[in-house]
């Protein structure tokens, strides 16, 4: 965007696409994220997924293990998917990156029985406004009366093994969702019938409880990213980092810290940073970069590991002095070899944009 005072990018790598999961309360966002994490842990070798602050990274190999025949890893050169845990629905509206959406791609979870609800429509409006591509997860397919679950199966095989009655019940609900999407101005169809994902929204029937259709969802997300976002993913992962604050939290021994999604470049311990705050930009220095410890026990004193450097895309907790007034949704920028004033200006103009868009709500 024209407010971007960042350096010219010399791409050295393809970063992980950032995936947000949205939808009406109780339609299954949390369960879906837990299922992706859980099956990634059981499918992949130890350490195959990494739990970040506010995000979960699922590498391509694990996506492919989980998706079975639906994902051939040799078709892809993006490194995997980074699922962000959007804290609360409303804050998603302020989660931006340089004027655009923080998420590169989104999943809108809709309960197949409950259909469209107010927060479903709200999510679609946000995605349309920010131009974020998305797929619809028609969740809870397993609650269709007479459903015979096939845990972890791709959805078509599972669908074909159902009774005629169960299939037509599910069909009715799916067509209702496709009709509701059309009422909102989106041309949509069951994902395997979609030829052009740039024009049509794919609907993936699935269950976060039985994992049926989860292989399909991962395959669609991976395919969409690879096909339409590859250029956007080319970043300089060693350049001065750019990120968005997810949450501001007090941590014992560190004071106020910011949970950040880093979408460009890198951040290192000792870097000078500019962070958006309620009273304008805060200029400070990274004291520590904190990652959750694997299997951290809640009672254990040290819940975090300190790391020296983090590269995009990643979720990281940044500890630095003077972060008390930092703001969720605000930009965070590494200064490094740039002029600090220009970075402050960049953060100021982004803060102004956030304020405008929040007033529009």
Of the two residues 31 and 226, which places its CB atom closer to ligand GDP in the complex? 31
- Considering only 3, 5, 13, 30, the residue that binds ligand GDP (CB under 6 A) is 30
Question: Measured from the CB atom, is 28 or 54 closer to ligand GDP?
Answer: 28
Give ∠ CA 211-214-220 in degrees, rounded to 5: 175
Residue 128 has phi, psi (to 5 degrees) of -65, -45
Closer to ligand GDP by CB, 68 or 87: give it: 87
Please state the closest distance from residue 254 (CB atom) to ligand GDP, in A: 29
Is 212 within 8 Å of 57 (Cβ atoms)?
Answer: no
In the region spanning residues 109 to 148, those forming contacts with ligand GDP, defined by CB under 6 A, are 139-140, 142-143
Q: Which is nearer to ligand GDP, 143 or 156 (CB)?
A: 143
Least Å distance, CB 172 to ligand GDP, is 18
Calculated CA dihedral for residues 158, 68, 235, 41, nearest 10 degrees:
90
39 near ligand GDP (CB under 6 A) = no
The window from 18-26, 167-175, 236-244, 298-306 that contacts ligand GDP (CB under 6 A) reads 18-26
Short-list 258, 220, 236, CA closest to 137: 220
How does strand 105-111 pair with strand 18-23?
Answer: parallel
Q: Is the dihedral of CA 63, 149, 119, 39 positive or negative?
A: negative
How many residues of this chain interact with ligand GDP, rule: CB under 6 A? Answer: 15
Among 3, 5, 13, 26, binds ligand GDP (CB under 6 A): 26
Which of 180, 264 has the CB closer to ligand GDP? Answer: 180
Report residue 95: phi and psi, to 5°: -85, 90
Nearer to ligand GDP, 180 or 212 (CB): 212
Q: Which of 267, 360, 283, 351 is nearest to 323 (CA)?
A: 283
* Helix or strand (DSSP H, E) at 216: helix 214-228
Of residues 357, 358, 350, the one with CA closest to residue 97: 350
User: C-alpha distances in angstroms, 94 versus 6, 101, 106?
Assistant: 21, 8, 15
The residue from 7, 9, 10, 25 that contacts ligand GDP (CB under 6 A) is: 25
DSSP one-letter code for 9: P
CB of 69 to ligand GDP, least distance (A): 22
Strand, coil or helix: 225: helix
Q: How far is the CB of 141 from ligand GDP (least distance, A)?
A: 7
Q: How far is the CB of 205 from ligand GDP (least distance, A)?
A: 10
Segment contacting ligand GDP by CB under 6 A, of 160-168, 207-215, 219-227, 345-353: 207-215
Q: Return the range that interacts with ligand GDP (CB under 6 A); candidates 27-35, 67-75, 178-186, 321-329.
A: 27-35
* Pairing state between β 304-307 and 288-292: antiparallel
The DSSP annotation for 156-174 comes to HHHHHTS-HHHHHHHHHHH
Q: Show the binding pattern over residues 62-81: x = contacts ligand GDP (CB under 6 A), - = does not.
A: --------------------
Q: How far is the CB of 301 from ligand GDP (least distance, A)?
A: 30
Q: How far apart are CA 184 and CA 116, in angstroms?
A: 10
Based on CB atoms, which residue is closest to ligand GDP, 25 or 352? Answer: 25
Q: Which of 194, 208, 335, 344: binder of ligand GDP (CB under 6 A)?
A: 208
Do 331 and 349 form a contact (C-beta atoms < 8 A)?
A: no
Residues 6+ apart with CB under 8 A from 8: none
Segment interacting with ligand GDP (CB under 6 A) among 25-33, 75-83, 165-173, 310-318:
25-33
Which parts of 262-281 interact with ligand GDP (CB under 6 A)? none
Stretch that binds ligand GDP, among 24-32, 197-205, 243-251, 322-330 (CB under 6 A): 24-32
Cross-strand partners of 277: 326
Interface residues with ligand GDP (CB under 6 A) are: 23, 25-31, 139-140, 142-143, 207-209
């Amino acid at each position: 965007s024209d407010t971007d005072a960042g350096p010219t990018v010399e791409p050295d790598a393809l970063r992980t696409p950032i995936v947000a999961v949205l939808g009406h309360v109780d339609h299954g966002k949390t369960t879906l994220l837990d299922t992706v994490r859980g099956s990634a842990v059981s499918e992949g070798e130890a350490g195959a997924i990494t739990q970040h602050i506010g995000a979960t990274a699922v590498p391509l190999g694990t996506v492919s293990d989980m998706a079975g025949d639906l994902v051939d890893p040799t078709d892809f050169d993006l490194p995997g998917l980074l699922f962000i845990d959007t804290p609360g629905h409303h804050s998603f509206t302020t989660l931006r990156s340089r004027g655009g959406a923080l998420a590169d791609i989104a999943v809108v979870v809709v309960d197949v029985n409950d259909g469209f609800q107010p927060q479903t429509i709200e999510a679609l409006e946000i995605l349309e406004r920010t131009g974020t591509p998305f797929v619809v997860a028609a969740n809870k397919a397993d609650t269709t009366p007479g459903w015979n679950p096939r845990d972890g199966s791709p959805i078509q095989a599972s669908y074909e093994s159902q009774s005629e009655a169960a299939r037509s019940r599910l069909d009715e609900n799916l067509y209702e969702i496709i009709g509701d999407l059309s009422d909102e101005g989106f041309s949509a169809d069951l994902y395997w019938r979609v030829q052009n994902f740039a024009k049509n929204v794919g609907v993936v029937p699935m269950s976060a409880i039985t994992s049926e259709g989860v292989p399909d969802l991962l395959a669609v997300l991976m395919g969409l990213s690879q096909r339409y976002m590859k250029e956007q993913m080319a970043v300089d992962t060693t350049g001065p980092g750019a990120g968005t604050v997810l949450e501001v939290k007090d941590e014992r021994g560190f004071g106020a810290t910011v949970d950040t999604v880093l979408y460009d470049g890198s951040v290192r311990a000792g870097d000078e940073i500019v962070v958006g705050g309620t009273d304008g930009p805060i200029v400070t220095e990274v004291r520590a970069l904190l990652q959750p410890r694997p299997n951290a026990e809640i009672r254990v004193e040290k819940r975090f590991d300190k790391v020296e450097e983090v590269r995009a895309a990643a979720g990281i907790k940044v500890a630095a002095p003077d972060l008390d007034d930092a703001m969720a949704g605000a930009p965070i920028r590494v200064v490094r070899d740039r002029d600090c004033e220009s970075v402050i200006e960049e953060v100021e103009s982004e803060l102004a944009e956030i304020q405008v868009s929040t007033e529009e709500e």
